[in-house]
A = this chain, B = another copy of it.
Amino acid sequence: MKNINIGLLGLGNIGTGTYKVLEINRKEIEEAVGGSVNITRILEKDIDRPRDITVPRESFVSDPEDIFSDPDIDIVIELLGGVEPAATMIEKALLAGKHVVTANKAAVAANYHRLMDAAAKGNATLRFEASVGGGIPVLTPLTSCLKANRFTKVLGIVNGTTNYILDKMSTEGLPYDEVLKDAQAKGFAEADPTADVEGIDAANKLSILMALMFDHYVHPDDIPTKGITGVSGEEIEAAKGNGQVIKLIASAEKADDGSIKYEVGPMHLDDTHPLAGVRNEYNAVFVEGNAVGSLMFYGPGAGPLPTGSAVMGDVIEIGKAL
């Protein structure tokens, strides 16, 4: 009987959602893995925060080395967020031979080769399905089912906050500031919304998509990036008059000569484009491949349970092979 032990870095919103997915769907997860799956160590300072889950107090550790050096831990899940210290912890875990699952687009995008190298050196697997599109299966289909394609294009609505804001501005005619406040009240936008509204989060995700689809890594700082703060109600209305909607799109296109154009910015899309109907805080990734043609993956791009679904999906894929 297989016994998979997990060390979890971070028990914030996403960590708690991931813990909960294992609690509520333990039967499905353990059947898929073919053994027991347990989160046995958790790196988290805030032990007493109310969470809707049951965590044994002895699971908590304050030193990440207690996880990396624990021979019983097979998989490390990193859900701290932010580039550092997360990236260094992922690297240490991989070098210690632990398989790593993360939802952290910022850490992966800023350190793509460093983390891939650490995985190779540690003979360990690094999976990050949740880092792009949250709960939507995107990276795994692109790198497995669709691997027999040469990709020519990707257009992604990969940030829920900005899609929510633009959608409400468009459908309800409300000004940017008012919709942002509403989004913050509903939990779709952070108190400091900069990373979302300036397109930085979308650029992280585009960096990961390009690395996997085109085998071409670009640091997110080097992706031309424009946010949505300059999009006016008048511009949205004018687009409507032309049968178009404005969406924040992370785009990359590969020409026949192999050159790749990429950027993040507001884009006018015809009403009939599959991405045009993506409403509220939903995400969607539209891709073109030379064999398959046009595809779109649509669903919840964030949130504790959807993200936890993707994280545990990665855990299952690793666990099946252990």
Residues 46-77 of A contacting B (Cβ, < 8 Å): none
CB-contact partner of A140 in B136, B144, B296, B299, under 8 A: B144
CB-contact partner of A309 in B292, B297, B316, under 8 A: B292
Residue of B nearest to A286 (CB): B298
Does A122 sit at the interface, judged by CB under 8 A?
A: no
Does A305 sit at the interface, judged by CB under 8 A?
A: yes
Binds B, one of A153-161, A248-256, A271-279: A271-279
Residues 20-57 of A contacting B (Cβ, < 8 Å): 21-22, 24-25, 28-29, 32
Over the window 101-143 of chain A, the binary record of Cβ atoms lying under 8 Å from chain B Cβ atoms (1 yes, 0 no) is 0000000000000000000000000000100000111001100
Residue of B nearest to A311 (CB): B148
With a cutoff of 8 Å between Cβ atoms, the chain B residues found around residue A146 in the complex are 137, 309, 313
Tally of this chain's copies: 2
Does the CB pair A293–B144 fall under 8 Å? no
CA distance A144 to B314 in the complex (A): 8
State how many angstroms separate the Cβ of A26 from the closest Cβ of chain B. 9
Does A88 sit at the interface, judged by CB under 8 A?
A: no
State how many angstroms separate the Cβ of A118 from the closest Cβ of chain B. 21
State how many angstroms separate the Cβ of A151 from the closest Cβ of chain B. 9
CA distance A32 to B305 in the complex (A): 32
Does the CB pair A145–B150 fall under 8 Å? no
Does the CB pair B295–A150 fall under 8 Å? no
Residue from the set A24, A272, A292 with the largest chain B CB neighbour count within 10 Å: A292
State how many angstroms separate the Cβ of A154 from the closest Cβ of chain B. 14
CB-contact partner of A292 in B22, B148, B149, B305, under 8 A: B305
CA distance A277 to B305 in the complex (A): 27
State how many angstroms separate the Cβ of A155 from the closest Cβ of chain B. 13
With a cutoff of 8 Å between Cβ atoms, the chain B residues found around residue A309 in the complex are 146, 148-149, 289, 291-292
CA distance A48 to B135 in the complex (A): 48
Does the CB pair B135–A293 fall under 8 Å? yes
Q: Which residues of A contact B (CB under 8 A)?
A: 21-22, 24-25, 28-29, 32, 129, 135-137, 140-141, 144-150, 272, 274, 277, 279, 289-300, 303, 305-306, 308-310, 312-317
